[in-house]
Amino acid sequence: MALHFVTDDAGNAHAGDTVVLTGAEAHHAAAVRRVRVDEAVTLGDGRGAWLTGVVTAASPKQVEVRVTGREVVPGPSPRFVLVQALAKGDRDELAVQAATELGVDAIVPWQASRSVSRWDAKVDKGLARWRTIVREAAKQAHRAWIPEVEGVARTADLVRLAATALVLVLEPSASDRLTSVAVEASDGRDVVLVVGPEGGIAPEELSALADAGARLVRLGDTVLRTSTAGSAAISVLSAAHGRW
């Protein structure tokens, strides 16, 4: 499989054009992935543009690619959105990385009441870190669309979201299984998967979400970590919708 790189310039490029990679992307292509002249590669802008091309010049500061073909990949419908509670260590980052590789379409950091990690004074730093992880994971997975990382949500934001989206809260004690939920592509609503922190979702948060119309579902008879529950749920939905 051809190596894949991401650049905004791919959005407006067509067959016959030359796209130039510079900065970190050029260094990654030439010094890390060691692309060579005449090697076939693919390029994307993370918003649906997908180019095939051939490297015509390669150095750590600049890589030139002659475009041989262009495709526009439609945006996903319905969108699969992961609401990931902030967790200590790198557990939430592992969750975000895996979910991106497995097909999530958007990610929302959630400051749950039981979240040990707090972003109160470092929101910008936290969002920048997650966005970098998502971009690199999407590039590694050769995805035409890079998931958007939205602003930090509070529980009240999720309650409001339940009015316009199909919100599925992953809760080990729920009676319904995720596999029993019918998600129709024609519905048009986002499918939102809510994953709690290490200590689980607080009872008052579960009640507020359920009262707003969210459905509590479980993945099976075992309890998954916050770092794996979201990616497991994305896998179930992807398989059910023929993405896999």
156-179 residue pLDDT tens: 999 999 999 999 999 999 999 999
CA distances from 152 to 87, 106, 120 (A): 13, 13, 10
Which two structure tokens, joined as six digits, stand for 200? 């689980």
- According to the model, what pLDDT value does residue 15 have? 98
- According to the model, what pLDDT value does residue 185 have? 62
Q: In what order do the strands lie in the sheet with 40-44?
A: 3-6, 40-44, 49-59, 62-72, 18-22
Mean pLDDT of 45-69: 97
CA distances from 179 to 117, 166, 170, 218 (A): 31, 14, 12, 9
CA distances from 200 to 73, 86, 156 (A): 37, 11, 17
With cut-offs at 50, 70 and 90, classify the pLDDT of residue 125: very high
pLDDT digits 0-9 by tens, 143-160? 999 999 999 999 999 999
With cut-offs at 50, 70 and 90, classify the pLDDT of residue 98: very high
Model pTM score: 0.92
With cut-offs at 50, 70 and 90, classify the pLDDT of residue 32: very high
The beta strands (E) that lie in the chain are given as 3-6, 18-22, 40-44, 49-59, 62-72, 80-85, 106-110, 148-149, 166-170, 176-177, 191-195, 215-218
Q: In what order do the strands lie in the sheet with 148-149?
A: 148-149, 106-110, 80-85, 191-195, 166-170, 215-218, 176-177
pLDDT digits 0-9 by tens, 168-215? 999 999 999 999 887 776 677 899 999 999 889 999 999 999 999 999
126 strand-pairing partners: none
